[in-house]
Structure 1
Amino acid sequence: MNKGPKLVVDLRESSKNRCHYLEVCCHPDDKLKPLDAAIHMEHNQCGISNVGGVFMTLTGGRLETSFAEFAWTAAILDAGHNFLCNGVLISRKVVMTTATCLTTEEPLIVRAGDWDLVTDREAVQHENRTVKDRVVHQQFRWDSTQYNIALLILTEEFPRLQHIVPVCLAPMTPVDLDKESCFVCGWNHRIVSKTPSARNIVLKMEMDIDKSSWSNNSRSTILEGTPRSEQPVYAKGAPLVCPTESSRYYLVGIWSTSLNGGTQFTDVRQFRLWINRELRPFNIFL
C-alpha cells in the first residue's frame, strides 16, 4: 500500500497471498516496467543513515530493516553469486570484513545496495564489483580470534547513490559515541529457498557492549557484546556501529564469532593505523 511518498510493506500481510511480498497480484498485461529510481548524491559524506528507508518502509517484522536504511552493508559473494559473508563499505572502493570470511581463493564479488538477498525485486537495483586485491592482517592466525580483520580492494568504485553510503571510521582523535545505542546490521548467515515467501533481509540487532572491552585497557583486539534480541542470528563479518549525538554512524567492530550467547567483534578502533598503512600503496586515503 502507498502512504505518502513511500511504499509501506507489511510482512504480516504479505504472507496472506501467493504473490511475492514486494509485488501486488495483477493481470500480466497490467504489469509495470521497473523504473531507474536511483538517487545520485553530490556529497561524499560517510555514516549517514536513511531513516525509515528509501522508497519503502517495512512494518510487521522483528529485526528486519527498511530498504537502504543502513546503506553501508555489503555482501561478499563467490563467483557464482552465492552469499559467503557480510562486509562493510569503509570507502567506495574498500570493503572491510573478517579474515575468517576469506576461506576461498576463488574470485570474490562485493555487492552493495542490496536489501533482500533472495530477490531482485527492490525498487532500486544493487551494484556488484569484483575484488581486485585482498589484505589480511599479517598477525591473523586461524586458531585465534585476534587480528581477525581483512580489507577487500575493488576493481572500481561504487557510485555515489543514496542506497550505497560508506560508514565512518573512528578518527585518530577520539569521537564521542553513544555506546548504549550500538547495533549490528547485516544478513543472517543462512541458506534460504527462493519461494515467494522466502526472504533474507538486512537485520538490525541492538547490542550491549561489555564495558571493560569498550575501554580496552588491555589493548586487546576483541570487543565483546551481548545481543538484546533472543532471535538467533549469526551475521559473520557484519559491522557493529555506534552513533554520535548528531546520528552519524561510526564503525567500531566487525562480527568475528559467537560464543556462549555472546558475540566477539574485532575492535576496529585498534586498527586505524594499520588500515591507513595498508591502503596507502593503492593510493587510497581515508
Structure 2
Amino acid sequence: MMSRLISVGLLLLALNPDSKAQDTSSALCRQDELCTSVQRCEESDDSGRKGIAPRISRFCGVGRICCEKAQLESWDMHASNPQPTRPITAIQNKVSLFAEPPPNESCGLNMECVPRKLCRDNNVINDSGIKLINPRISTIPCSKSLYRCCAVDQQVEDSQSPYVEKEASFKYKNCGYSNPQGLIPDNDKFNYTEDVSIFGQFPWMVGIFTGRQDFLCGGTLIHPSLVITSSHNLINETVDTLVARAGDWDLNSLNEPYTHQGRRIKEIIMHPEFDPESLFNDIAILLLEEPINLGPHIQPLCLPPPESPQVINQLLEATCYATGWGAKEADSDKLEHVLKRINLPLVEHDECQAKLRNTRLEARFRLRPSFLCAGGVEGKDTCKGDGGSPLFCTMPGQTDRYQLVGIVSWGVECAVEDIPAVYANVPYLRNWIDAKIKGLGIAIQAT
C-alpha cells in the first residue's frame, strides 16, 4: 500500500512540471543534481540544444531523472522574463569528403614532375671544390606540392631515396617539438597559402579513417601507442572499423618524402560522462594495436598540466594553432586535402560564453567546464571535417614546442567574427587522461 502511494505521488509531481517543490534530493543523483521530472529537465535545458533528450539518463523515480541544480535555478530565474526563441540547428559534426587531385605534368624535354623523394639530391662537387647545382635539374616549378621537375636519369626508386637514410638516422628528443621549416631540405618554390602547414611541421597530427579508407576525423599522437580524439566522431564505430594514420600530410597523395604509418585500433576508451547530445566531455583515447615508429615526421605532442588559474593565464598568452583537413567554409563539404594550419587565440571562458549567448544558443546558454574556446576571428576557424583534431599552444618560455590544449568539438558558425569555436578542454580532462593511461600500463615521458 505504501509503495502504491509513493508511486501516485511521483506521478502527480510529474504532471505538474512547473512546480519547484518537485525538485528533491536523491541518493541516486550527484551532489550538484536534483531529482525532478523529465519534462522539467528538458524544458530547462541550457546546453544550447533545445528539445534534446535529458543529458543525464539516471532515473530517480517514476518519470523522474537527475538534473543539474544550476540548470533548474537558471530556468526559474528566467521564467518571468522569457527570451525570444529561434530555431536551433544541429551542432556541426565536422566530417566531410575530398576530391581527387589533377594528374602529373611534364616540365620540359626529358623532364618530369616527380615526388621530391624520387629525385637525387642534385648537388655535385667539381674538382675545384665549388658546389654546383646539377644542370640537369630544371628550375621550372611544378604545379603540385612536394613535386620537383627532375631529369629522367636523376630519378630513383623508393629504396634509393635520400630520405630513407635521413629517417634511419633520426633521434627522438621529447614530445611537442615542431619542425618550424618543415622537412623539405631544398628551396621550396611551391606557392603555399598562409593557412597551409609545411610537410612535417606538426608531426603529431593523425588522420582517423574507416576500414574503407574514408576519412572520419582528426586525432593527436600523445605516445607511440596512443591517439587522442573526439568521442562524437566514434559513436557508430568499433575497433574493427577504424585505422589511424600518422605522418600523413596530403590525403590525396602517397608522395610525401617520408611515408605515413597506419595502425589498427586495439581499444576505444570514451569518457564515461560523454554526452552525445550536448557533447560534454568530448574526448576519447585510442589504443593502437602496434606502436607507431617515431621519425622526423611522426612525434607525439605533450599533454598540458591539469587546469589551474596559472595554467589558464599561461595559455591565454601563448601562441596557439589548430590543424586539420576540414573545410574552410561552413557551407562546404569538401576537405582540404593538404593539412591546414590556423593561428587562433584562446578566448577566456566567461567572454566566450557571453559571445555564444549572442548567437542562436541564446541568453541562458552555459558553457560547461569540459569546454574551452578559441577563434572568433573573421576568416580563420576550424570547421566541418576538423572534428577530433588538435588545438595546441606553445609551452611557457618556448617558441617551437607545443602542448595539447583542445580537441575540435563543435561550433555555431565557421570563421565568423566574435563567434569562437568550442573545443574539449584537455587541461580540465587531464586527470581522466592520466587515470586511463595508467590503467593501460603505459608511461608518458615527462616534459
By the TM > 0.5 criterion, same fold? yes
Q: Select which of 239, 255, 263 maps to 1:121.
A: 255
Alignment-derived partner of residue 202 in structure 2: 70
Aligned residue type for 1:52:
Q
- 1:265 and 2:265 are equivalent in the alignment: no
| Cα pair distance change 1:55/1:213, threshold 3 Å | farther
- 1:159 and 2:293 are equivalent in the alignment: yes
Q: Secondary structure at the match of 1:278?
A: helix
Alignment-derived partner of residue 375 in structure 2: 226
Q: Secondary structure at the match of 1:169?
A: coil
| Cα pair distance change 1:142/1:125, threshold 3 Å | same
* 271-280 or 28-37, which deviates more: 28-37
| Cα pair distance change 1:252/1:213, threshold 3 Å | farther
**Counterpart Cα distance in 2 of 1:97 and 1:67:** 21
**Counterpart Cα distance in 1 of 2:145 and 2:368:** 47
Alignment-derived partner of residue 440 in structure 2: 282
- The answer (yes or no) to whether the contact 1:178–1:243 under 8 Å persists in 2 is no
- The answer (yes or no) to whether the contact 1:39–1:162 under 8 Å persists in 2 is no
- The answer (yes or no) to whether the contact 1:241–1:251 under 8 Å persists in 2 is yes
Residues 232-243 of structure 1 correspond to what in structure 2 (within 5 A)?
Answer: 233-234=382-383, 235-243=386-394
Unaligned runs of 5+ in 1: 5-12, 193-198
Shift of 1:180: 4.4
Residues 163-182 of structure 1 correspond to what in structure 2 (within 5 A)?
Answer: 163-172=297-306, 176-177=314-315, 179-182=317-320
TM-score, length basis structure 1: 0.82
Q: Select which of 398, 416, 429 maps to 1:246.
A: 398
| Cα pair distance change 1:277/1:113, threshold 3 Å | same
- 1:48 and 2:182 are equivalent in the alignment: no
Alignment-derived partner of residue 341 in structure 2: 204
Alignment-derived partner of residue 217 in structure 2: 85
**Counterpart Cα distance in 1 of 2:394 and 2:199:** 19
* 165-174 or 135-144, which deviates more: 165-174
**Counterpart Cα distance in 1 of 2:352 and 2:410:** 20
Aligned residue type for 1:284:
I
TM-score, length basis structure 2: 0.54
Structure having the higher helix fraction is: 2
- The answer (yes or no) to whether the contact 2:408–2:422 under 8 Å persists in 1 is yes
Alignment-derived partner of residue 324 in structure 2: 186
Shift of 1:55: 2.1
What CA deviation, in whole Å up to 9, does each residue of 1:186-213 have, x standing for no partner? 2225556xxxxxx611111111221236
Structure with larger RCO (C-alpha < 8 A, sep 6+): 1
**Counterpart Cα distance in 1 of 2:246 and 2:170:** 16
**Counterpart Cα distance in 1 of 2:381 and 2:375:** 12
Q: Secondary structure at the match of 2:349?
A: helix
- The answer (yes or no) to whether the contact 1:185–1:238 under 8 Å persists in 2 is yes
Unaligned runs of 5+ in 2: 1-115, 124-140, 328-332, 354-366
Aligned residue type for 1:41:
F
| Cα pair distance change 1:40/1:167, threshold 3 Å | farther
Structure having the higher strand fraction is: 1
Shift of 1:214: 9.2
Supply the RMSD in Å over aligned alpha carbons.
Answer: 2.9
**Larger C-alpha radius of gyration, 1 or 2?**
2
Aligned residue type for 1:236:
G
Q: Secondary structure at the match of 1:132?
A: strand
| Cα pair distance change 1:120/1:214, threshold 3 Å | farther
- The answer (yes or no) to whether the contact 1:254–1:268 under 8 Å persists in 2 is yes
**Counterpart Cα distance in 2 of 1:104 and 1:75:** 15
